[in-house]
Amino acid sequence: MSDWMSIVDKQIQQAIEEGRMSNLPGEGKPLVFEDDSNTPHELRLAFKMLRDNGFAPDWVMMGQELDSKRKNLLEKIKKGVRAYQGALADAERDAQEGKQRQLRAQSAWELVRKNLQEASQTFNKEIITYNLKIPQGITHKPQINLEQEIKQLLR
């Protein structure tokens, strides 16, 4: 390990002597850290360097993708519940074919619910993978509880 450090030290010293470490952007200015309260203190400098150079750890990118997927899935759940409620309301207003329309609405809702269940299971598996990848000290992302989401929307 000391051999490795001495090689690095030599390269840094050579760069200083050749002037490659002078007049760099931000030279002499204090580092400005964004409010990164969810990032452990010991990782903030590394993350700042990545961010400043247009990079991010894979779990950060995965987290952003999951946030987008969560938003889309919750919107699909909301649309499905609203469509079901609308179909039931239409069935109640139709005196002649109300019962048939109600059965069709129920059948369609079961299909939609099955698709939402599959989508939420897939999403939750991705959440579990993400939560296993993130460094210690980073807040885990919650899974989607489909039944709870539907129950809240049906109130």
pTM higher than 0.85, yes or no? Answer: no
Per the structure, the count of domains in the chain is 2
Specify whether 34 is located in the same domain as 74.
no
Specify whether 30 is located in the same domain as 74.
no
Specify whether 62 is located in the same domain as 8.
no
Specify whether 81 is located in the same domain as 119.
yes
Specify whether 44 is located in the same domain as 85.
no
Per-residue pLDDT of the chain (155 residues; tens, 9 = 90+): 566 667 888 888 888 888 888 887 777 787 666 666 767 788 778 877 888 888 888 888 899 999 999 999 999 999 999 999 999 888 888 778 878 889 999 999 999 999 999 999 999 999 999 999 998 888 899 999 999 999 999 88
Half-sphere exposure of 21 (CA within 13 A, CB side): 9
Specify whether 66 is located in the same domain as 33.
no
Spatial distance between the Cα atoms of 141 and 63, rounded to a whole number of angstroms: 8
**56 phi/psi in degrees, rounded to 5:** -155, 150
Region class of 118: left (phi > 0), else alpha (psi between -120 and 50), else beta: alpha
Those residues whose C-beta lies under 8 Å from the C-beta of residue 37, and which sit 6 or more positions away, are none
Domain that residue 97 falls in: 58-154
